[in-house]
A and B are shown apart, each in its own frame.
Chain A
Amino acid sequence: MNPSRLPAIPDKAGGDLTAGRRGFLKWSSAALVGALAFGGKLPGLSLDQAFAQSPGGAAMAKAVDLGEGDVGILNYAYALEQLEAAFYSQVIKTPYANMASADRDILTGIRDHEIAHREFFKAALKKNAIPGLDVDFSKVDFNDRSSVLTTAMTFEDLGVAAYNGAGQMLEKGEYLLLAGKIVSVEARHAAAIGYLMRTGTGASNATTGSGSNNASVVNEKGLDQALMPSDVLSKAGPFVKTPITADDIG
């Protein structure tokens, strides 16, 4: 990446920086997208780096700039799809013991959808696309069905909430429609994962589950979650390994 493309940290970010390290830690290592919530041209990941390396600021080689406006939102979605695609690819590559065909079918189908989403955003963003992110699934036990499905549910619910929250930020109707086309598929995934969790160790019997959690994140008004990027990123952060992590300040 050409360092000259990186925007200067605006005053607003400077204010954030002076808020202290505690605030930064909350942003987690996936802070790249958090800046979007403020409509600024904050260079995302480079925030951490800027904190660690300013005033010198020389070594910003791998900092990621999401871009502004709709491009920034699309990169935000691209980042989440990268995370999901990487996760399900690993799930299928190293399946947990005795993965039932019902599980495999659903998880493979979801993997393919997430890869499609990832590749779509990459192609659509062209030169504006952020680079491939490094992920961190060290807290996931891919040998354990429960660990895998719990993580999957986290990602799907988070994806739904992210798209729902970002919709109003998009300026172009075409992009809003695209987000709509994708978010309902993510919601279908969430329901499918919930279904697997309730139907035991891959039993094809749909009736063994007694839970009603077809949408337990849905509130009493019948509404799904809608979260702002900063909130989404604080949830996604533990799974994203950034080029320059917050370890030095944590």
Chain B
Amino acid sequence: MTDNHSILAEVDPDVAERMLSRRGAFRDAATKLGVLATAPMVVAAASTAAFGQGAKLPRKIVDVLNFALTLEYLEDEFYRTALASSGLIPSETRQTFETIGKHEAAHVELLKGALGSHAAKKPTFDFTAKGAFGDVFSNYKTFLALSQAFEDTGVRAYKGQAGNLMGSDEILTIALQIHSVEARHAAEVRLIRGQPAWIVSNSRGDMPAATQPIYDGEADFTQGGADIKDLGGLPVDALSGAFDEPLSKGKVLAIAKMFIKA
């Protein structure tokens, strides 16, 4: 990535300092890091501080984080298993899936750390979904399809929970930071599969019929209470694709449960 440096470039300490006065957590983090801390560093440190307080988390937050943790457990084990299945992932995309796998493992650790003793236990997974995807770890195409399914689901799942994290600023920000990473993964896998990077209407494309619930409700033309069908004279697929839609916890769990042993 060519712009890593410019994105992470240091800001004027004066600016960072003034920025920090806004939130206590940021202020505390700034104190620890010193006045030369860059703004991105400070945000990261504040996030870390907020994520070491599992015992103090309200029940509502614990529920959201455990919901997220369940999905991250699923993704983490999925990629772990796939990467350990010899001959499954070709060399050309191996690095991509190693990176994705590392992210999912990091998400598990982050959420477990945040939840502390409240962390849900890892379920026992069945990635074949009782045989429906029996060759998931021997057929690259099946693996890719499930990868897309999990990533697109993850994006909708986090989006659907953002509102429940309002008021817990640092945790909300962390959740948003995971949410967009899942979206990056989803797009990457979709492109590898020869699909558009984004969801078109509510179409599952070439995905198996069992994955349709992941895409139901994605063709939403009411945004912010307004009908956007005529917006900018754009094609409806562009309007639909411009907005990813949330999915309720119940619907996400119904999808996830296909892959969780009772």
Contact B228 A120, beta carbon cutoff 8 Å: yes
Contact B39 A228, beta carbon cutoff 8 Å: yes
Q: Judge whether B106 is part of the interface by a CB distance below 8 angstroms.
A: yes
Which residues of the partner chain B approach A173 to less than 8 Å between Cβ atoms? 163, 166
Which residues of the partner chain B approach A218 to less than 8 Å between Cβ atoms? 103, 181, 184
Contact B22 A220, beta carbon cutoff 8 Å: no
Within 8 A of A (CB), among B190-209: 191-192, 194, 196-198
Q: Check A211/B197 contact, CB under 8 A, given A37-B19, A38-B19.
A: no
Within 8 A of B (CB), among A110-133: 112-120, 123-124
- C-alpha gap A117/B239 in the complex (Å): 9
Q: From residue B89, how far is it (CB to closest CB) to chain A in Å?
A: 11
Contact B232 A116, beta carbon cutoff 8 Å: yes
Q: From residue B201, how far is it (CB to closest CB) to chain A in Å?
A: 13
Q: How large is the interface on B (under 10, 10 to 19, 20 to 34, 35 or more residues)?
A: 35 or more
Interface string of A205-234 (1 = CB under 8 A from B): 011111111111111111111111011001
Q: From residue A121, how far is it (CB to closest CB) to chain B in Å?
A: 9
Q: From residue A23, how far is it (CB to closest CB) to chain B in Å?
A: 5
Contact B98 A223, beta carbon cutoff 8 Å: no
Q: From residue A223, how far is it (CB to closest CB) to chain B in Å?
A: 4
Which residues of the partner chain A approach B231 to less than 8 Å between Cβ atoms? 116, 119-120, 123
Contact A225 B177, beta carbon cutoff 8 Å: yes
Q: From residue B114, how far is it (CB to closest CB) to chain A in Å?
A: 11
Which residues of the partner chain B approach A39 to less than 8 Å between Cβ atoms? 22
Which residues of the partner chain A approach B102 to less than 8 Å between Cβ atoms? 222
Contact A228 B43, beta carbon cutoff 8 Å: yes
Tell me how many residue pairs across A and B have CB atoms closer than 8 Å: 272
Residue of A nearest to B155 (CB): A184
- C-alpha gap A217/B3 in the complex (Å): 9
Q: How large is the interface on A (under 10, 10 to 19, 20 to 34, 35 or more residues)?
A: 35 or more
Contact B40 A192, beta carbon cutoff 8 Å: no
Contact A195 B197, beta carbon cutoff 8 Å: yes
- C-alpha gap A18/B233 in the complex (Å): 47
Contact A178 B176, beta carbon cutoff 8 Å: no
Contact B162 A116, beta carbon cutoff 8 Å: no
Q: Judge whether A244 is part of the interface by a CB distance below 8 angstroms.
A: no
- C-alpha gap A232/B176 in the complex (Å): 17
A206 in complex: contacting residue of B110, B194, B239, CB < 8 Å: B194
Within 8 A of A (CB), among B161-187: 162-163, 166, 169-170, 172-174, 176-187
Which residues of the partner chain A approach B135 to less than 8 Å between Cβ atoms? none
Contact B177 A207, beta carbon cutoff 8 Å: no
Interface string of B1-35 (1 = CB under 8 A from A): 11110111101101100110110000000000000
Contact B228 A116, beta carbon cutoff 8 Å: yes
Interface string of B242-255 (1 = CB under 8 A from A): 11111000000000
Which 4 A-B pairs give the minimum distances between C-beta atoms? A222-B106, A207-B92, A112-B238, A216-B1
Interface residues of A (CB under 8 A from B): 16, 19, 22-23, 26-27, 34, 37-39, 106, 109, 112-120, 123-124, 150, 153-154, 157-158, 160-161, 163-165, 167-168, 173-178, 180-192, 194-195, 197, 206-228, 230-231, 234-235
Beyond the given A192-B191, A225-B40, please list 9 additional residue pairs across the A-B interface where CB-CB is below 8 A. Answer: A112-B241, A113-B238, A173-B166, A177-B159, A185-B241, A189-B198, A214-B188, A222-B103, A235-B6
What are some 19 contacts across the A-B interface (CB < 8 A)?
A: A22-B12, A112-B234, A120-B223, A123-B226, A154-B3, A154-B6, A168-B172, A180-B246, A181-B246, A184-B155, A188-B183, A188-B187, A188-B198, A191-B187, A192-B187, A195-B187, A222-B104, A224-B176, A234-B11
